[in-house]
Structure 1
Amino acid sequence: MTAHLYRPAVPALFTRIGATSMLTAAALAGTSLIPGMTTRAQADETLAMRAYHIAQSEQGAPFAWGAAGPDAFDCSGLTQFAYEQAGEDIPRTAEDQYDYAVHIRPDHRRVGDLVFFHYGDSIYHVGFYAGRGEVLHAPKSGGLVRLERIWSDDVWYGRVDDD
């Protein structure tokens, strides 16, 4: 009987460019080359900012009623998809997302917070606060995920707590 030693497979990328070059490439390219590795900047980034950056990458995706990605979105589908990709499960509808979020005053809002559009007590739309009075959202049928000026004073803000 012959003993077999375990030899982990070495990714082809390591054998082609070498370990030192691989680590340099990972540092320059982010962390996509080494799964599970995060940079200090990524570790310091809030959950809301991670979700916002994911939503930013979906700009240009079409609106589709009831869609939650990855190819099309409605408003709450975009926010749910982005948070899920960032590592947090949030409810599906805008109203449920409002109930889930920590409510914040407008003067405490920051990029990545959720913007809830309402009529009276009824929430009808949600997007990400993008700064400068803009919202990143999936607007309506025929629209694309995009940045737009916040068009109403009837908005509330919420933050998904990353504790």
Structure 2
Amino acid sequence: MSVITSALRRSLVVVLGTILFTGLLGGLPTEDSGQHAEAATSRTTESQRLRAMKIALAQRGDPYRYGAAGPNAFDCSGLTSFSYARAGRSIPRTTDQQKAGLRAVSKSAKRKGDIILFVKNGNAYHAGVFIGNNRIVHSSRSGTPVKIDPIWTSSYVVRRP
């Protein structure tokens, strides 16, 4: 009887610990979208998205630097996170964090200021800010400054902060 009571007590502690831990973090990722519960409830306004887009556009010509998040050099997700931070909205820093932590939007519903994340085997490897007409502003690689390019592949997902 005491073995059963001990196992039950341990199970209860694990369940309660998980509930408390999850509550502190703001929720577990959901199965269908990979979003975090907190990100799903805090939405960016259209005005903030357009402001983030304009901020990203203003960085054209700034150099690419791996791991840089501005204000004078950027990597791809550094540009997206910098632009949103300047627009008053904090978003995750890396491409995979942005893919997992921001609200999924269908390609047909993408709007100016949305984040385009290029994916391979389910992993995000590049990000840019959608500016309309199938184009993004992005920071792509060493030796290439922040610039505008067309979306060059269909292997992307759209996230809306």
Task: State the TM-score, normalizing by the size of structure 1.
Answer: 0.69
Deviations 1:57-79 (A, max 9, x none): 10110000000000000000001
Structure 1: state its 5+ residue gaps: 1-43
The structure 1 segments of at least 4 consecutive aligned residues displaced by more than 4 Å after TM superposition are none
Cα RMSD after superposing both structures: 1.1
Question: What is residue 127 of structure 1 aligned with on the other side?
Answer: 128
Q: Which secondary structure state, in structure 2, belongs to the residue aligned with residue 135 of structure 1?
A: strand
Q: Distance in 2 between matches of 1:155 and 1:147?
A: 17
Match of 2:64 in 1: 63
1:97 counterpart = 2:118: no
Counterpart code for 1:118:
V
For 2:29, the equivalent position in structure 1 comes to: none
CA distance in 2, matches of 1:45, 1:103: 16
Q: How does 1:1-163 map to 2 (within 5 A)?
A: 46-160=47-161
Separation (CA, whole Å) in 1 of partners of 2:96 and 2:129: 15
Distance 2:141 2:65 in 1: 8
TM-score (norm 2): 0.70
The residue matched to 1:83 in structure 2 has which SS?
helix
Once residues 87 and 136 of structure 2 are traced to their aligned partners in structure 1, the CA distance between those partners, rounded to angstroms, is 19
1:81 match: secondary structure:
helix
Higher share of residues assigned helix: 2
Unaligned runs of 5+ in 2: 1-44
The one-letter code matched in structure 1 to 2:157 is W
CA distance in 2, matches of 1:102, 1:134: 20
Paired letter, 1:77: G
Deviation at 1:130, TM superposition (A): 1.3
Please identify the structure whose Cα radius of gyration is greater. Answer: 1
Identity, % of aligned positions: 38
Question: 70-79 or 126-135, which moves further after superposition?
Answer: 126-135
